[in-house]
Structure 1
Amino acid sequence: MSEGTPSLLVFEQPLTERVRSFLRLELLFAQHRHHRRDHSQCGVRASLHSLLDLLVVISRSDLKSDIVKELSDQHLHLTRLAAQSAENREQLQGVLGELATAINGFQQLTTQFASALLRGSDFLVSVLNRSTIPGGTCGFDLPHFQHWLSQPYERIDRDLKAWFADLEPFERGIELYLRLLRASAPAETLSAQSGIYLHTPTGPCLLVRVHVKQSAEVYPEISAGRHRFTVRFMQVRDLATRAQQARVDIPFALQCCNL
């Protein structure tokens, strides 16, 4: 998940539904990793909820085929590149090894494994159905859940690892794909005159990345179409008032990423 540095913020706008799904999954995987470090009951609750969110997102479409296709295309492209030039060959071979490992990780997965896991577990379905209600997983609503939470952590950890096992290839594959995508284009230094910038890409673009200094105290609203997009920088004085477009020139950097 890209957040920039303490002095530089990076804002991203996906231009395809596939990249949008990958970014959402990247966030959910990061949340799950964070919550898994907390062994308290609140931490376990958050871990299970983030796990259920991952299963729901993956079960809604054929994301396995999508990510395997993207990784396979990159493996083919980089293989040709490595054969044509000796420059950076060692680095390319390292990335090719990562791609091969990620692709192989998907080979044992059935296409609808996430849906099958949810359908096959009354426990997971009951927690999922109640989790959309604020406070809906209280003990009086789900005594089975309360009983599970009261088990020794070793047993809870075993269950969480078993449910997450088939998600590990997705975590590795999506991390690798987004890393390659973000590194696919250099950052171009630009200026938004009176807080607005209109850009026409010279080629295909899957992901727009805007880098701006945190000290500027602005954030970008990115409106993207098929042939051009607009970056409008907004100023927030406090959260009680509506953000206003900046009226000064805003220096920033722009990446138009594509694989």
Structure 2
Amino acid sequence: MSRINPAPWLTIVICYEHPLNERIRTLLRLEDLFDKVAFFSARDEAIEHHSALVTLFEILDVTSRADMKSELLQELERQKQALETMRKSPDISEGALNEVLSNIQAASHSMLNMAGKIGEHMREDEWLMSIKQRMGIPGGACEFDLPSYHYWLHLDPILRRNDLNEWVAPMLPLEEAFSIVLNLLRCSGKTFPHIARHGVFQQMGSARVAHMLCLKVDEGLPCVPEISANKYALNIRFVISGSRQKTKIYDDDVKFELTYCNL
């Protein structure tokens, strides 16, 4: 979810991205985690660097599947082949196409040069893994449980940041690869305006070939979309935000834009 520039008939909008398969769901989670690592690592406070390390451990968990690297490489190759077929189209800028293909080639090369499993350099670090294990326990990273980690948090912020950058650096080719895939996915979409009558919208079979939905709605509305989709139907209902009672559907009509994204 993000705030974006307004659509023609809206003021400020929020974009809700809804993945329609596990592969895209994983890439969106990784994007969010890498953004958080970059944000917290750039700060100076010990608690912010603690948050950066916690997020790095989450990346390790998300990337624990052995086939993630090969899947990303295959997806980059698929996109490369698909883009090559568009070279003769008069609607395609050859310069822009060559730039994207060059980025894909560079990302694939970097992924191929990644040694071992994603995050293996961290998994082989006994000190880091002892911290990760303790963090799995509620309150387990207290100073009396991990005095060496407590000492690290009291180092100069520059030294801590250097360590964080060193730990994340071997995984940056992964970020480069999935960023290209997600960018191509987002740029592929066709957008349509819709109205949810009394907060409810349904469309039959519309999400059958999509990999992700992007829904844009005026941020001033006191409601959020709940999306469910399968190959048979797309259902969206706008529910009142922050309600402590039973989920209540927003009763007014809601204008929104819906983009069907497909790789």
Cα deviations by residue, 1:132-188 (Å, 9 ceiling, x for unpaired): 333221110001111222233343233222211111011111112111101101210
Match of residue 251 from structure 1: 255
Q: Is the 8 A contact 2:207 2:230 kept in 1?
A: no
Q: Does 1:28 align with 2:28?
A: no
**Aligned equivalents of 2:14, 2:89: Cα separation in 1:** 37
Instruction: State the one-letter code of the partner of 2:59.
Output: L
Match of residue 46 from structure 2: 41
Q: Does 1:88 align with 2:93?
A: yes
Q: Does 1:186 align with 2:222?
A: no
Counterpart among 202, 223, 226 of residue 221 in structure 1: 226
Q: How does 1:30-179 map to 2 (within 5 A)?
A: 30-85=35-90, 87-114=92-119, 116-179=120-183
Return closer, same or farther for 1:198/1:48 CA change in 2, 3 Å cut-off. Answer: same
Instruction: State the one-letter code of the partner of 1:99.
Output: I
Q: Is the 8 A contact 2:4 2:13 kept in 1?
A: yes
Where 1:187 maps in the other structure, the secondary structure is strand
Instruction: State the one-letter code of the partner of 2:149.
Output: F
**Aligned equivalents of 2:88, 2:116: Cα separation in 1:** 33
Unaligned runs of 5+ in 2: 7-11
TM-score normalised by structure 1 residue count: 0.91
**Aligned equivalents of 2:262, 2:105: Cα separation in 1:** 21
Cα deviations by residue, 1:31-71 (Å, 9 ceiling, x for unpaired): 11110111221121111111111122112342111211111
Number of equivalences = 257
| Aligned-pair identity (%) | 29
Instruction: State the one-letter code of the partner of 1:152.
Output: D
Q: Is the 8 A contact 2:194 2:258 kept in 1?
A: yes
**Aligned equivalents of 2:157, 2:151: Cα separation in 1:** 12
**Aligned equivalents of 2:171, 2:186: Cα separation in 1:** 22
TM-score normalised by structure 2 residue count: 0.90
Cα RMSD over matched residues?
Answer: 1.9
Q: Is the 8 A contact 2:200 2:237 kept in 1?
A: yes
- Which structure carries more helix by proportion? 1
Where 2:224 maps in the other structure, the secondary structure is strand
**Aligned equivalents of 1:13, 1:50: Cα separation in 2:** 22
Q: Is the 8 A contact 1:62 1:111 kept in 2?
A: no
Q: Is the 8 A contact 1:195 1:247 kept in 2?
A: yes
Unaligned runs of 5+ in 1: none
Instruction: State the one-letter code of the partner of 1:4.
Output: I
**Aligned equivalents of 1:21, 1:185: Cα separation in 2:** 19
Q: Is the 8 A contact 1:82 1:93 kept in 2?
A: no
Match of residue 4 from structure 2: 4
Where 1:223 maps in the other structure, the secondary structure is strand
